[in-house]
Amino acid sequence: MEAAERFAVGACNVEVAKDLRVSVRSVQRWRRAWHDVGVEGLRSAGPVSLPKLSEALFAVLEQELAKGPVAHGWPDQTWTLSRIKTLIGRRFHKSMTLSAIAQMLHRHGFSHQVPARRALERNEEAVTGWVKETWPQVEAPWRRSGHGYASKTRPASR
């Protein structure tokens, strides 16, 4: 709508594009729509596509999620995006990307969860041993311990 105001006072496309931080091509399209239809031609037509799961289907998905992963054949009580994707494919015969599923869940008020306490099966001794022995070998040092040299030949090699 701001572009329409600028068109009315005679601003050029490059100036409008720079001020609104869009491409000149977009401004050209907007100017053509403004010229042909007027300000109504610049109004948003809404989303390009409908959501993959309608509100009714999402309500069914919520019921399925409430049953828990074990009811759907997984060994533990953790919902992951890939498991939800599999559930959507099995139940509704639709395919969605993991990011689309995450956005849909977030839009409906779901958030990712982290366990409130550690698992009972956790072996503290094994974890401590791994952190002390294995992790230092896996983690590469970021810097050399000695001095660096600007020359490609080290002083000791001369």
Structure confidence by residue, pLDDT tens digits, 73-120: 999 888 999 999 999 999 999 999 999 999 999 988 888 776 677 778
Q: How many domains does the chain have?
A: 2
Of 48-57, 75-84, 101-110, 133-142, least confident by mean pLDDT is: 133-142
Q: How far is the C-alpha of 108 from the C-alpha of 120, rounded, in Å?
A: 32
127 falls within a domain: no
79 falls within a domain: yes
The residue range of the domain holding 6 is: 2-42
For residues 125-139, one letter each, b for 16 or more C-beta atoms within 10 angstroms of the residue's C-beta and e for the rest, the string is eeeeeeeeeeeeeee
Q: Indicate whether 64 and 87 sit together in one domain.
A: yes
DSSP code for 104 = H
Q: How far is the C-alpha of 86 from the C-alpha of 67, rounded, in Å?
A: 15
> How many residues belong to the chain?
158
